Chain A
Amino acid sequence: MEKLSFRHATRTALPGTRASAITGVVASGNLEVLLERNLAPDACRVEIDTAIAGYGAVWAAVVADFVARRQPGGLTITINDGGARPDTVSLRLAQGARLMEMP
């Protein structure tokens, strides 16, 4: 297991008012993403617990790409990873952000 933590500043807050959302399942090649709206509107924190060690640079790139695209200001995002590929991670992060924007 490896723990990773990333902090980003965003230009805006993620729209919506939902306090929390979860998507995905911890399974082989899959991950669960828990999103909680509990930070300052221009801050985003991503905490990752992954079964596969040694891919910190890939995680950093995927998270930075997500933050740049979605501007998830105000969110703490916590991930339990079962060895998902980067495209699956991007998809789950996008699904999670969408859930938080829904009424």
Chain B
Amino acid sequence: MKSIQVFDPAMCCNTGVCGVDVDQQLINFAADVDWAKQNGAQIQRFNLAQQPMDFANNPVVKEFLERSGQEALPLILVDGEFALAGRYPNRVELARWTGITLPINEIKPAVGSGSKCC
């Protein structure tokens, strides 16, 4: 199974509720990640405010930050390669990348919008 790495912007926590604006995308994505993991997916999240070394040590991520800035986060890598940036993937995308096969009605994509957390 492929592994997914999520590089989050600087925030206090993955739900983002102690930020200035609660972002439904973050709450949904936290739940989606949980769902995907329960189905066997390998997903790692890195918070810029807590693990900046993981950003600096990955050439793809470092270059992305230099080119597009932290405003362009999150960045999602699949098996180390650029997959998505600027928004979080939904369940359909997570399922496709990791090869999770489930009845379509069990895959509810994340909804909602807002600015990034904290």
A complexed with B: no
Q: Which residues of A contact B (CB under 8 A)?
A: none
Q: Which residues of B contact A (CB under 8 A)?
A: none
